[in-house]
Structure 1
């Protein structure tokens, strides 16, 4: 009878080898599973130097426009009259006491309604157009200082002017017609002023030294 020792030893060695291979395979699978990680997708790169969208620019406001109109009124001391005609951002004014004191002035009128008009011999008118219905200001002339208010002229009132040659002499006349129908004017004959005859505000007709003339609205 043969001894089973060697055969059992061989079988035991085979079983041990199979067991070792099985354990190695299991361990390898476990290591492979634990070492494999799913990486999350990288976020899209952002540019730190991206320029912001330009802000929408609002349109610049249009400057207001002074309405073309005429204004006529009296000084606060009721000694004289002042009339101003505004056209196209410019103005012409006339100061007159109806006897011997007069001055023509002119200058620009900014969008805010302020005005500084100048005339001969240092004459100056400083005023402000208020709400488009009146001009409040002052006139400085020959050392005198006159505050005035000139409401917006109605039909027939306002500032009139006539220039002509009468009997060989240059004649220049200025008239201020107020809303109540009163008139103040001076006719200058070669540097000699005197009270002006009445003018018809509807037609501008006036007679100076026997000669008919036509006065027209004074414009800048």
Structure 2
């Protein structure tokens, strides 16, 4: 009986060890995925889709048309006069040598002050408004090119025209009143051109073949 004591003690220890192993197998640590799910709730919840923002397009810059004004001047060779009237981004011009050569031209004015005006028989004016003070450019007419500069004009300087039927003839007159008071114009009667008589710059009154007409400022 005394020898069986250690054996019994050894068996008791083995049984205790087996019991502890059995307990660990049923109540052991949780799996890594389960623990991560419990410790990190966001792992089990789908991440929200990020909101896409669309940059608003920048507003287009507002257009600033060239100011309304009248311009009058001479060609570089001093052989003719040129007048240009600007209104609401449109332009009308008159080239006149005061004897027989003339042309009416019209077209648009770009926001940067450039313009390309056209008239009959291929006439063309290319000009640029500089600082709102003057227009410089060229006029192509009848195979010739004329450089010009037209300064800003104040009334009564500017561009005038009168059309009527006088004694059965169709009359068309154009006048440029320069800033120094000089007048250059052509009067056409049934297609025949001649120097135009002077107009009253204050009223536009002019007498043609005994009949009084009124030359009025020209606008596009």
Decide: shared fold, TM above 0.5. Answer: yes
Q: Which residue in the other structure is 1:80 paired with?
A: 80
d(CA) in 2 for partners of 1:51, 1:151: 60
Shift of 1:29: 5.5
Q: Which residue in the other structure is 1:93 paired with?
A: 93
Larger radius of gyration: 1
d(CA) in 1 for partners of 2:157, 2:44: 81
Shift of 1:176: 0.5
Q: Which residue in the other structure is 1:18 paired with?
A: 12
d(CA) in 2 for partners of 1:131, 1:30: 95
Aligned residues, how many? 213
Question: Mean alpha-carbon deviation: is it higher for 153-162 or for 124-133?
Answer: 124-133
Which runs of 5 or more residues in structure 2 are unaligned?
A: none
d(CA) in 1 for partners of 2:112, 2:101: 30
d(CA) in 2 for partners of 1:83, 1:183: 11
Are 2:151 and 1:157 aligned? no
Which runs of 5 or more residues in structure 1 are unaligned?
A: none
Q: Which residue in the other structure is 1:169 paired with?
A: 169
Q: Which residue in the other structure is 2:136 paired with?
A: 136
Q: Which residue in the other structure is 1:180 paired with?
A: 180
d(CA) in 1 for partners of 2:53, 2:17: 64
d(CA) in 2 for partners of 1:17, 1:154: 128
Shift of 1:111: 2.8
Are 2:141 and 1:147 aligned? no
* RMSD of aligned Cα (Å): 2.7
Shift of 1:128: 1.8
Question: Mean alpha-carbon deviation: is it higher for 88-97 or for 20-29?
Answer: 20-29
d(CA) in 2 for partners of 1:213, 1:201: 13
Cα deviation per residue 1:153-193 (whole Å; 9 max; x = unaligned)?
21211100011122222111111011121211111111222
Q: Which residue in the other structure is 2:64 paired with?
A: 64
Question: Mean alpha-carbon deviation: is it higher for 87-96 or for 17-26?
Answer: 17-26
d(CA) in 1 for partners of 2:198, 2:72: 17
Shift of 1:116: 1.9
